[in-house]
Structure 1
Amino acid sequence: MDFDFSAILLALTVLFGVIWGLDRLFFYKSRKAGAEAAGQEEPQDPMPVDWARSLFPVVLVVLVLRSFVAEPFRIPSGSMMPTLDVGDFILVNKFAYGLRMPAFNNKFLALGEPKRGDVVVFRFPGYLCRVDGKLVRSGDQTCADPQAPVPSQNWIKRVIGLPGDRIEMQGDQLLINGQAVTADQVGPYQGNPKRDEDRLMLEMGATVWNEHLRTEEGTVVNHLTARMPAYNRPPPIPSDKVPSVVPQGCYLVMGDNRYNSTDSRWWGCLPEQNLAGKAFLVWLSWKGPDAGWVDFSRMGKVIH
C-alpha cells in the first residue's frame, strides 16, 4: 500500500497542536478554576487533551528532522545494485537541494542543485503517455489507461544528465555532451544464489563495471554498475520519451543496475520539484534468513 508518511506526520502535528491550543485558549482556565475551588493544585486534562499535549512535541520533532535534516529509506528493489542492495536502509540528506514544505514538497529555500553522479531519492513522477498528441503522466506503464493515478512512491536513482546536457545512449555506450563515459570491467557479479535478486543476476551472467562519470566541475565520480544484456535491452536515448537535450527543470536519472532499472529511459526526465534529497549513508543492511540476516560489512557505507 502506498502512503505518504510525511503527510501523516504533518496531519498529526496539526491535529495535536489544534487540540492542545484550543483547550488552552477556551477550556483550561475554567477547568483550573474548578480544580482550585475543589482544593486541587492542577486540573485533570481530558484524555484527548492529555494525549495531544504529550504527543505534539514528539511528532513535531520527528516531522522537522525528517523534512529538513535526514530521512530514512529502505531499498526495495535491485535497480541500484551493486551500489545499493535490496534491504539496505539508507539516510537521505533533506537539505542538500533546498528546504521543502512537508507533504506538499514545495521548495521555499534554495540551498543547492543536484550534481552529475549524485544518488537521489525522489517522488516517482509517473510514466509518459501520449494522448491526443500531448504527453501526460500516468501510473500505467503500458499507457493502456493514461488516466491511471501515479502512485505515491519514493524511488532512488543516479543523476546522469543535468538540464541542458546532451545525452546519447545505445546499449552500454553512454555519451554526455559528446564525450564517452568510460568504464573498466571489474569481473563477474558475485552473489548469493539463494536471494532472488542475486540469482537473477547470476543466471543472466551479470558483470560489474567501474564507471567514471565526470561532473560539471571536472571531477570524476567512480561508482560500480552492473551489466546483463541477456536480461533486457532498455530504450535508447534519444527516444520518444527522452529528448537528446535534457529540458530545463529536469534531470536524467538511471539505476546502476543498467539492464534492470525502470528509470528515465522508460519514463522521461525527473522534474526538479519531485526531488526529495541526496542519499549519503547505509546505516543498516537487512539480508534475511537466507543470507545471514544482517550484512554488517555494509553498515556505515558512504554512498557515492
Structure 2
Amino acid sequence: MSLQSLIGNFSLILFVLLIVTGLIWAFDRFVLAPKRKLNAITVLREFDQKTNANSSARASLEASLLRQPAWVEYSGSFFPVIALVFVLRSFLFEPFKIPSGSMLPTLYVGDFILVNKFTYGIRLPIIDKKIVAINDPQRGDVMVFKFPKDPTQNYIKRIVGIPGDTVVYKNKQLTVNGVASEYESQADFLHEGSQLSYSKQFNEKSNNLAHKVLNDDDRQPGIYMFGEADFPYANQCQYNAEGVTCKVPVGHYFMMGDNRDNSQDSRYWGFVPDQNIVGKAFFIWMNFSDLKRIGGFQ
C-alpha cells in the first residue's frame, strides 16, 4: 500500500487501533484483573500466615501481583487517547494541511486548517454514510471532499454550484443561474518562491458573497479536455474556447479553486457527489512560515 493510500485510509487505521486497544482494555478489565485480584488475595493470605515481614514488603508484593502485563498496560493507556482522537476526528473537527496553491489567495501552501465535520450532517466513519442531516452545502463554502477519481485523496475547493444550478465560467468570469458575478480589481498578487511572479487579483462578488480570486493574463479562458470529458454527468457540460457551462446534477456540487487559472477542479474532472463530502473548512490554526496566517477566512 502506498503512503498516499495509507494517509487516505487513516480513519480505517485509527478505527482498527481503537478496536484492538479497546478489546485488550476490556479483556483486562473484566477477565485478567479479577483473576489477578483473586490470586493476590490467596498469595497475600499465605504470606500473612507464614511471614512476619513489615508492611512495606507486603505492599511491594501486592503491587507486583496486581501489576498489569506490559502489553496490557501500554494498550490500555493508548485506548482512551485513541478513542478521543477517533471521536473528535470522525464527528467534530479534522485537521488538514494545504498542499498546493490552487486556493490562493484564500489559502496558502503550508496552511494547517480545521474542517468542521458536522456542519453538513453526521456521517458514520469509514463508510461515510450520512445518518443525520443538518445543513446543506452552500455556494461560497470552502469544502474538503474526497476526490471523485481517487477517494483516497482529499481535495479542497470552493463551492460555486449546488444541485440544480447552471454554472457558466466564460472569459474568466462566473455566472450562476443567470446572475453574473461582479469583479473589483485588487493589487496584483505576488507569488513568492524561487522565481517571483504576479497574478491579477480580483474581489469576486455574487449573491452577497465576496472573496478574492486570481487570474493570469497569459492563460487562455478555454477549458481544453483533449477529447471528450470523462466523468459522470459529463453530458451536462459544454466546452468551447470561451470556457464551460454545466448543469449541476441532483446530489452533486460544482467546485472551483480561487486560483482560477491554476486549479484542477470540476471544470476538468466533474461534479462532487454528496457522499464524498468531508466537511467545511473554516479556520487556519497554524502556518509555521507565517504565524499571521492564523485565523478565519472567507
Cα RMSD, aligned residues only: 2.0
Alignment of 1:99-110 (within 5 A): 99-110=122-133
Q: Contact conserved, 1:234 with 1:259, CA < 8 A, in 2?
A: no
Alignment equivalent of 2:85, drawn from 62, 83, 88:
62
Name the aligned partner's letter for residue 223 of structure 1: H
Query: TM-score scaled by structure 1?
Result: 0.80
Residue correspondence of structure 1 range 83-98 to structure 2 within 5 A: 83-98=106-121
Matches within 5 A, 1:38-187: 38-39=43-44, 40=62, 43-126=66-149, 150=150, 152-187=152-187
Q: For residues 224 and 62 of structure 1, what CA distance do their matches in structure 2 show?
A: 34
Partner of 2:253: 251
SS in 2 for 1:81: coil
Using the TM superposition, give the Cα deviation of residue 249 of structure 1 relative to its aligned residue in structure 2, in angstroms.
0.6
How many correspondences in the alignment? 260
TM-score relative to the length of structure 2 = 0.81
Letter in 1 for 2:192: N
Q: CA deviation at 1:231?
A: 4.2
1:143-192 deviation line (CA, Å, top 9, x unaligned): xxxxxxx2511110000000000111223022111111111111321232
State the identity %. Answer: 41
Structure 2: distance between partners of 1:160 and 1:80: 13
- Secondary structure (helix, strand or coil) at the match of 1:222 reads strand
Contact kept in structure 1, 2:172 and 2:221, CA below 8 Å:
no
Any stretches of 5+ residues in structure 1 without a counterpart? 127-149, 215-219, 287-293
Which residue of the partner structure matches residue 57 of structure 2?
none
Equivalent position of 1:263 in the other structure: 265
Superposed displacement of residue 22, structure 1: 2.4
Q: 2: CA distance between counterparts of 1:59 and 1:115?
A: 33
Aligned to 1:226, which of 211, 214, 227? 214
- What's the CA shift for 1:273? 0.7
Partner in structure 2 of residue 29 of structure 1: 34
Secondary structure in 2 matching 1:266 = helix
Q: Which residue of 2 aligns with 1:211?
A: 204
Q: Which runs of 4+ in 1 moved over 6 A?
A: none
Deviation at 1:10, TM superposition (A): 1.3
Matches of 2:162 and 2:274, distance apart in 1: 10
